[in-house]
Amino acid sequence: MFNSSQHKKFSQEYTFYVNEGTEEEYKCKGYKKDQFGVVLTIIAGILTGFIPVLALFYFKRKIILYLTCKRCYHVEAEYFLIMDIYKRHFIVRCKSYDRSRNITIDFKTSQSFIGTHNDVLTYFVFRDVKYTLNKETLTFRNLNGYCGLDCSNIIDAAPLSLNEMKNRKYLYGDNKLHIANSSYFSLIFDEIINPFYLFQVGSFGIWICDEYYIYAAAIFLISLVCVAASVSESKQANTKMIELCNCEDFSVDVILSNNEVQSVNVKDLVPGTIFYMPTNGFKMFCDAVLLNGSLIVDESLLTGETTPVTKIAITNGSIQDNYEPHKFKLQTVFCGTYVIQTRYYKDEKIKAMVVNTGFTTFKGNLVNSMLYPKPLSRKFYIDAVKIVGSLFLFGLCGSIYSFIVLYKNNNDWFHIIIRSLDIFTIMIPPSMPIAMTVGFIYARKRLRKCNIFCNNAQYVNFAGIIDCAIFDKTGTLTETKVAITSVVKSEGGSFSENSILIDNIEDNQSIKKCIACCHTLTRVNNNVVGDAMDLAMFNASRWVLEDNEENDNEQYDDCVPVVLKSFNTLEEIGILKYFPFNTTVKMMSVLTSSLDNSDLISYSKGAPEKIIPLCLFQTVPNNVYKKLDFYTRLGYRVIALASRHLNDTRWHNAMHMTRDEIESKLTFEGFLLVENNLQPKVKKTLNLLESVNIFTVMSSGDNINTSICIANKCDLIKKPILYITYDGPFSNTEFFKSAPKFPCNISPIIKMYYSSNDDESSCSDENTAKFRDCDISALVDDNMCAHSELKNFDFVMEGYVFDILKERYTNILRQILPYCKVFARMSPDQKCHLVDSYQKLNYIVSMCGDGTNDINAMRMSHVGISVSKSEICAAAHFNTQQDGIECIENLIKEGRCAMVSSFCVLKYTAIASIIQGISMMVLYTVDSTMTDSMMIYSDLVITMSATFLIANNPTYKWIVPKKPNSNLLKASNLITFAIHSIIIVIVQCGSIIMLSKHYKSEWGSEYVDYAAYVLFNLTIFQYLSGIFIYCKGPPYRKSMIHNKLLSVWYVVFSSISFYFLMNGYPNIITRFLSLSIPPDVYFRLALLLIALIEFYLHNATEIISTKYFGGNIEKTRTNSN
């Protein structure tokens, strides 16, 4: 199949990578069947009853692969062992089939790179994405439609024929997000093969053999309820996911290669299909790029953008770059968005071309991230498993001991074996799964009451141990609605002396027209809609937007879909062409025509550092950067405005001008000043986080000085500032070179610049002098950690500097991050890398934003919080309906409370198992045992009900600087647990010794029956003592008295136990529990005294442990670390 040169070239390749360098990078190894290994595995399976083989198949499938297959070149593989970046392993089958058709997937060259006619298509499917083998480069790549193609290839693409569509469908499959509808049988099977439930099945058999019929039936019913609840939740989640992925089944008109139009079902569409957009409102069924016209869509489900977005056609004047959906957002209609309006001109309906289908669409990626989320830290789960393992070892020792004493007591072999195994079932408590989750369930319920919704209860755990809180600025720290009232006008190469109110500018002035026209607003149902910033600008201009209002989905005139009109001058300006904003160019432009005199003028707006270099130098004031610095330091968000007159250009030629041509030789018009008002309670919340040692960071897309001013307003920055910038190749330091206090001539390396803060500082001039015009790399070489003065400053940097440090100066970045408070001009990708950088420093990171451009960063963080009221909650871990960021306070409280509650329940469950296990071993020693009814009362009525109630303590009213200990197995916990266990052993053994010494001769044969009574009553009091000592209160939960249900329960059962011990049990209870009560009241009084002494011993142990060993508390990382 492959020639010798190819084999030689890849003779060393046993491992290959797909999606290399991305978050979805996978390391793959090829395997093919080894017949000898298969035979040996089958023989081994027959000899062992296939039980080990089945266990490996379900729990360690990788080992089965090793046993039955051997390594091979990936081009010959039948199976692939795939490892993701989190070291998780998966096995997929490599598939191939003969094809009698030529399938083109290299759209750029229109050549098939999978092979020629009658060749074999080789591929594998992993996480619903298909990866195909390129027979020329012998590499696998995912099928991502037209991504990466030059825009001209898309614009000039010819329609497909029906045969070509059919052939491509073999490659791409149906255009749908197929989620398997899991049957109840499969869900139940997946649940019961859990090792814990498999252990329970064996336990039922042992209990029944030991005549614990009622107890076994009760545990079986409880387990059944737990399985049913889990299966029901899984089924609901599966059903919701299917509903999310469902697409309306309808047809669209497709343009074929012979220019015919044929109706085709949306599920049969493939990349490259050109179709007419339906005119009525509908949900988009694929990712498609607009070829003409415009659309108005609602993208709230996918991006969190609550306002409708206008989509425009891709043109040759678009950015000269390869097509990528995230770069061409305004030209791409994403799958899952709701199309509100379609707008076309004359008889030319809107055409679009399919670029991605199925799971390669934007919605497919979102669904994929929900189906296969980033793995949670399993430390809590691992600690719980270790506790179970420790109990298992204790049970093993107990079984050996029980076997010996039962044998010595001349029990028959059946009872010796069954009761020895019974110790195992006692030591692994049935309530363990409940204990691991009940704290999070209560926290999730309380969060709902605060209008905070959680997609996965396990994320509540992280909320309690947050080290670093990153906040987006716009819409999160500041209000979404912006206030635009004034401009700084530039005329004749000089600025106006002061800012001017927009209302005081005549409508015929160029800067006013720029404000009125440079946007992508449109009209929907007689309302002007679009981006919040565009809308605020337009409203400030007092102009009117007009368009065809007869029918929103009908045709428009020849060339002007949107007309702007001034009431004062009655001038009308039509927008001919859009060059939309994106994060790459950081600016936008429109080409307009005056309907009065046909003048062609382009208007541009954007980031000053992008607009100013594109303007004619004679139109730019000399003090432009000083003016920019002045207003940004006042906290304004500054937008540069510019225009270009194209009077010498014909209309036809202007319509074909590229973006680079339109956005050159501009006339600088001035600055638009945007006010950033803080959200209510932002300052209070950030100060609270700082006071409890949570490192707070702002990540903003705005100018660095604007970001710093907002940071100052909300008390995020409280120390003198150290700017970090770069003056090497590809730098962007025009602002730094011109701004005051910044040196102009610096060497091409990373630099720090000192800038005084308005707030008073204790830093001495001697310290600040060390870092003025300082070379960071020299500091690192000289052991930067030794410069303790750094903690006296707050660092700030821009996104491009962050990228340089991340790529070239990783060591510097790692040492700066713990002090860096503001990151400005950050793109969505840079925000993701910022979260990842803090995580690599072992911070537990939260990301709080409105979801507009930080969805991926929220997903990547340990705790993603969306403050948007849209459906973006599908992507974030937490979604709040509250305004502002104060929700994080409740989230931290509930997280800490949930973690402590789970620890308390786990500790109580473990100590209850020790109590019950020791009591059974002691009873076996005297040839006695607990009755079925006793086990039900102690294990279900007492222990399991307490498990639910202990976790229900309310959260504490304050957040303390110390976070709860996240290490369940720390030395102090283990030592304390051991001491409790020793006390239990001493008390139980001592009580039996006391019974034996003083009453064995007096009571004769009834002594053995009284032993069960003694330990039954003592264990009840030991359970009650365990509840009291493990029901932790402040500083993370309120005290036990605030847990009303538990308080009532505790008083009732303590009173009942005290009364029955002193006065005897009623006859009906005595018969039910099969108790033999000692007649001596003084003996029962002695038992009560022993129980009280034990209670005080347990409490003293816990108090001493908490006070001197830090019991349940550990310090958080401080900012100076």
Q: Return the CATH number at 564.
A: 3.40.1110.10
Residue 1121 above 80 pLDDT? no
Confidence band for 936, pLDDT divided at 50, 70 and 90: confident
Give the per-residue pLDDT at 744: 27
Q: Of 996 and 1057, which is predicted with more confidence?
A: 1057
Residue 617 and residue 738 in one domain: no
Question: Which one, of 1025, 1014, 1009, lies nearest residue 946 by Cα?
Answer: 1025
Q: Check whether residue 992 and residue 1006 sit in a common domain.
A: yes
pLDDT for the residue 731: 41
**pLDDT bucket at 557, cuts 50 / 70 / 90:** very low
Is omega for the bond preceding 1035 within 30 degrees of 0, making it cis? yes
pLDDT at 752: 56
Is pLDDT above 90 for 115? no
Q: Is the domain of 983 the same as that of 1023? A: yes
- Counting the structural domains of the chain, the total is 6
Length of the chain, in residues: 1121
pLDDT score, position 11 = 39
* pLDDT band, very low/low/confident/very high, at 1011 (cuts 50, 70, 90): confident
Q: Do both 508 and 626 map to the same domain?
A: yes
Distances (CA, A) of 829 to 18, 365, 566, 699, 909: 20, 16, 40, 12, 45
pLDDT in tens, 370-405: 788 777 766 777 777 788 888 888 888 989 999 999
Q: Answer yes or no: is 1004 within a domain.
A: yes
User: Could you count the other beta carbons within 10 Å of the beta carbon of residue 525?
Assistant: 9
Say how many C-beta atoms besides its own lie within 10 A of residue 910's C-beta: 26
Query: For residue 359, what is the domain's CATH number?
Result: 2.70.150.10
Q: What is the mean pLDDT of the chain?
A: 80
Residue 640 structural domain: 484-675
Same domain, 599 and 504: yes
Final residue in a domain of this structure, among 310, 344, 371: 371
Mean pLDDT of 872-891: 78
**pTM for this one?**
0.79
| Last residue in a domain, options 320, 343, 371 | 371
Task: Please state the rounded mean pLDDT for residues 585-598.
Answer: 85
Is 1114 among the domain residues?
no
Highest mean pLDDT among 140-154, 588-602, 786-800: 588-602
pLDDT band at residue 726 under the 50/70/90 scheme: low
Q: The domain that contains 773 carries what CATH number?
A: 3.40.50.1000
88 and 126 both lie in a single domain: yes
Tell me: do 423 and 352 sit in the same domain.
Answer: no
Q: Does residue 205 sit in the same domain as residue 89?
A: no
Mean local confidence (pLDDT), 799-820: 86
For the ranges 315-324, 574-583, 960-969, 1014-1023, which has the lowest average pLDDT? 315-324
Q: Which residues contact 728 (CB under 8 A, 6 or more apart)?
A: 748, 749, 750, 804
**Does the structure show a pLDDT above 80 at 540?**
yes
Which residues have C-beta within 8 Å of that of residue 489, sequence separation ≥ 6?
495, 496, 500, 505, 511, 669, 670
Residue 212 lies in a domain: yes
Same domain for 366 and 492, yes or no, is: no
292 contacts 577 by C-beta, under 8 angstroms: no
Residues 6+ apart with CB under 8 A from 931: 1012, 1073, 1074
pLDDT band at 514 (very low <50, low <70, confident <90, very high): very high
Residue 846 has pLDDT above 50, yes or no: yes
Task: Based on the fold, state whether residues 538 and 599 are members of the same structural domain.
Answer: yes
Domain limit, last residue, from 628, 651, 675: 675
Q: pLDDT grade, residue 893 (50/70/90)? A: very high
Q: Provide mean pLDDT across the span 510-518.
A: 93
Do 1071 and 946 have their domain in common?
yes
**Residue 1000 banded pLDDT, cuts 50, 70, 90:** low
CATH classification of the domain holding 961: 1.20.1110.10
Q: Tell whether 505 and 574 lie within a shared domain.
A: yes
Summarize the confidence of residues 1011-1027 as an average pLDDT. 91
- At 689, the pLDDT band (50, 70, 90 cuts) reads very high
